[in-house]
Amino acid sequence: MFTGLSAFPLTPLHHDAFDESTYARLISRLVEAKVDSITALGSTGSYMYLDRAERGRVARSAVQHAENIPVLVGIGALRTSAVQALAHDAQEAGASGLLLAPVTYQGLSDDEVFTLFQDVDAQVSVPLVVYDNPGTTHVRFSEELYARITTLEHVASIKIPGVPTDPKEASARVRSIREHIRTGVTVGVSGDATAANGLIAGCDAWYSVIGGTLPQLALRISRAALGGDSASALSESARLEPLWSLFAAHGSYRVTAAIAEYLSLVAADCLPRPVLSLNAEQRALVAKVVDQLQLTD
C-alpha cells in the first residue's frame, strides 16, 4: 500500500466550509486514473486548518468515494491527545493508513517527536506514515530519529522531503536512509520537482501534491520510474520544469489550487483564509503554464 503514487487532493472550501461535492469529484478523478493510494488531509488537503468535525467529514468522504483504492488520512495536530482523537476518527472513517507530521508551535526535541509517535503508535490499529515536512513543521529529522521511530510497530513508511537532483547524491541519500530504518518500511519522496529522481534513486513511493489534482500526469512519471524506464520519467519531469518553477516561486499548495481553479475543478478561493489564492497576475502565469504544458490530464 505504501508504494507507487499516493495522490494528495486539495480539500476545497467554499465560503469557509468544506465543499463536499467538489471534493467527491476530485476523489473520483483519482479513482478513474487508478492512483495507487489517496492521502486525504495532507498539507495539500489543508489538514491543519480544519477542525475535528470537518476532518472527520473529509475522511469519510474520501473513503466513501475512493472505491477500492486505499485511503491514508493525515492526523497531525499540535497536541498528542488531539492526534489520538483524529487517529480514532480516521480509523472509524475507514482509513487504511494514517499520515503523521510532528507539527510544532513550541519547537520539539527529538525525544518529544519520538514520544509523540510512540504515544500514537500505542493506540492505532492501522499503519502509520511518518511525515517529514520541515517546511511546515520546522522539525529537522535526523536519520537517527528515523531509526528510532521506525522501531515502532505500526510505522510502515516515511515521507521524506525532496532528494538531491544529482543522481548519485540522491541514491546515496536513499541508501543511507534505508540503512537506518527497519526493513520493510518504505521510503516515499515528496517535493514533486525531484520525484522522478527520488523514485529512480530507489524510493518506493511518491507522496505527490500534483498527483492529487493531475493524477494522469503524476502516474506517467511514477509508472515510468518504477517500471525501469528512467529516461521517460526524467524527460517528463524535465518537460514540467515551468510547473516546478511555479511551485518554487509560490509554493505547491497555492499553485495547485490555482491549477484546479483554472481547470474548473474547484471554485475560486478554495483555500482557508488567511491563506490567499494567488493574485490575478500570478494566476495568469499559472494559466499560461497549464496551457503550454497541456496540463489537462
Give the footprint of its own copies on residues 133-162 (CB under 8 A): 135-136, 138
Torsions phi, psi for 129 (to 5 deg)? -105, 130
How many CA atoms are closer than 13 Å to the CA of 264, on its beta-carbon side? 0
Tell me the per-residue interface mask from 16 to 55 with its own copies, x by CB under 8 A, - otherwise: x--------------------------x----xxxx----
Burial of 280 (0-12, 13-18, 19+ CB in 10 A): exposed
107 scored as a contact of its own copies (CB under 8 A)? yes
Tell me the window of 1-9, 130-138, 140-148, 260-268 that interacts with its own copies (CB under 8 A): 130-138
24/236 Cα distance (integer angstroms): 28
The site map against its own copies for 276-295 (x = CB under 8 A) is x-------------------
Question: Binding its own copies by CB under 8 A: which of 24, 53, 78, 284?
Answer: 78
Q: Does residue 238 interact with its own copies by CB under 8 A?
A: no
Q: Which runs of E-coded beta strand occur in 23-105?
A: 37-40, 71-74, 97-100
Residue 108 touches its own copies, criterion: CB under 8 A: yes
Residue 117 phi/psi, 5° resolution? -65, -35
Give the pairing of strands 155-160 and 186-189.
Answer: parallel
Give the amino acid at 63: V
- 82 to 101: interface string for its own copies, x by CB under 8 A: x-------------------
Considering the rule CB under 8 A, would residue 172 count as an interface residue with its own copies? no
Range list of H helices, 189-240: 195-200, 215-226, 230-239
Binding site for its own copies (CB under 8 A): 16, 43, 48-51, 78-82, 102-103, 105-109, 111-113, 115-116, 119, 135-136, 138, 251, 253, 272-276
